[in-house]
Amino acid sequence: MTSTLGFAILAVLAKGARTGYDLTAAMSRPLGYFWTARHSQIHTDLQKLLADGLVRFEAEHGPGPQGKKVYHLTPEGRVALREWVTEPARARPERDELVLKTYASWLADPAEVAELFRDQLALHEERIAEYERQQAGFQTVPATGEPAFGSYATLWCGLSYERHRAAWCRWMIEQLGAGA
Amino acid sequence: MTSTLGFAILAVLAKGARTGYDLTAAMSRPLGYFWTARHSQIHTDLQKLLADGLVRFEAEHGPGPQGKKVYHLTPEGRVALREWVTEPARARPERDELVLKTYASWLADPAEVAELFRDQLALHEERIAEYERQQAGFQTVPATGEPAFGSYATLWCGLSYERHRAAWCRWMIEQLGAGA
DNA sequence: CCGCTCTATGTCAGTTCTGACATAGAGCGA
DNA sequence: TCGCTCTATGTCAGAACTGACATAGAGCGG
């Protein structure tokens, strides 16, 4: 009964032991172009994974009232994760606020909507530059069995997504300008 | 304090009066490549919108124990929707199960992962064909002030998204085949 | 040594959403 | 007329998630 966030946590831990804090950082971006979560949710789910025996932790001395807990996968956790990977996934994200706004954009002033899309375009262009820098950091495409393959493949997807999105923003700005 | 789903409902109602059932159909796909919801959630939110005076309904005779309720926007609802449209949106969907699976795919058998992506690719190709048919139904690009502009613009985005996604699937299949 | 930021843990109320359950008329075909 | 599907409404328990609150050591600069 592990939630999807639970598997996200397992997926990050599969690359190495981490604290809840590290997991939060990994999943709030910049590396997390796939799933995000706040630390409150991560802590909740870590407790569940712990109860299910999919992760364990070593207590270390550290800051805060409770010290530091370095979590790692158990063999059971690794098996559960591997089995989940090849189960069919929900095809596409079901919620996209900008697309929803676009759907209702005929109601608003085109100039204001264009402004919204110019802001979005700038964000996408920033991300494209950042992802291209990250991609350049890989000398070659990692082999499919290496942990780096997962990072490279999601980066490829993220970059492709940002380019598609940027192209859409440009098209929208053009349409909104032409109609004015 | 209207939720995003509330605005999704307003956006659909802005094109014409509908029952909760119709709204559910519109938002479960095929037209809803932007936001989805189950009818239970839609009914909950309709009650909220009603309490806030953003929608009203006319009771009609119809099936079921409560008859039929045809909802329509109030002027206040229209204003609320128009104001919301140009407020900045969350840039990108934060959750994508397939990308998460990809991130962990180095753990699994490449042949099985390739299978997963072949299934996904088939879905995307189906949708591309469907969206292209829908796009062909528009003789010209609607003007920005017409309700159809919203539909056309989201369709453009959906089509572009499906193409990006299909390209990614093909790249993944190629990688997974080469590594075997 | 004071204050700041970063690391690090955790709780909790309230919101959003899902999946299952429940009810029942309308229209159609066998 | 029986049963099926479609239309149409609603409730509710529980899962998932957010945002705010709470605590406190570690390391740094002034």
Residue B92 domain flag: no
Whether the CB of A19 is less than 7 Å away from nucleic strand D comes out as: no
Give chain B's domain count.
Answer: 2
Q: Which residue has the higher pLDDT, A53 or B66?
A: A53
Report if residue A76 sits inside a domain. yes
Residue A161 Cα distances to A21, A76, A131, B34, B138, angstroms: 28, 34, 11, 16, 26
On whether both B75 and B116 belong to a single domain, the answer is no
Tell whether B90 lies on the interface with A, counting CB pairs under 8 A: yes
Residues in chain A with CB shorter than 8 Å from the CB of B112 are 86
Q: Is this complex's ipTM strictly greater than 0.85? A: yes
A141-161 per-position pLDDT tens digit? 999 999 999 999 999 999 999
- Does one domain contain both A71 and A121? no
Examine the fold and report which residue of A33, A65, A85 is the final residue of a domain before the chain moves on.
Answer: A85
**Is the sign of the CA dihedral B135, A95, B24, B8 positive or negative?**
negative
Say yes or no for a CB contact (<8 Å) between A104 and B11.
yes
- Say yes or no: B28 and B49 in one domain: yes
Residues B58 and B116 in one domain: no
Q: Distance, in angstroms, between B65 CA and closest chain A CA?
A: 31
- Token pair 């909950």 in the structure block, residue: B44
Q: Is the CB of B41 under 7 A from strand C?
A: yes
Tens digit of each residue's pLDDT (9 = 90 or more) over B58-103: 999 878 778 899 999 999 999 999 999 999 887 567 788 999 999 9
Chain C positions with an atom below 7 A of a protein C-beta are 6-13, 15-21, 23-26
Domain end among B85, B113, B128:
B85
Nearest chain B Cα distance for residue A64, angstroms? 29
- Judge if B122 and B146 occupy the same domain: yes
From the list B93, B150, B164, the residue facing A160 with the nearest CB is B164
For residue B22, what are the domain limits? 4-85
In terms of C-beta distances under 8 Å and separation of at least 24 residues, what long-range contacts does A59-65 make, across chains too? A62/A19
Identify whether residues B108 and B168 lie together within a single domain.
Answer: yes
Shared domain check, B57 and B119:
no
pLDDT, average across residues B7-34: 87
CA–CA gap between residue A67 and residue A88 (Å, rounded):
39
- Residues B48, B16 share a domain: yes
Residues A116 and A143 in one domain: yes
Residue A73 lies inside a defined structural domain of this protein: yes
B143 within 8 A of B152, measured Cβ to Cβ = no
Answer whether B93 sits within 8 Å of A88, measured CB to CB.
no
Beta bridge partners of B18: B71
Asked which of B61, B85, B109 is the last residue of a domain, the reply is: B85
User: Where does the pLDDT of residue A38 fall: very low under 50, low under 70, confident under 90, or very high at 90 and above?
Assistant: very high
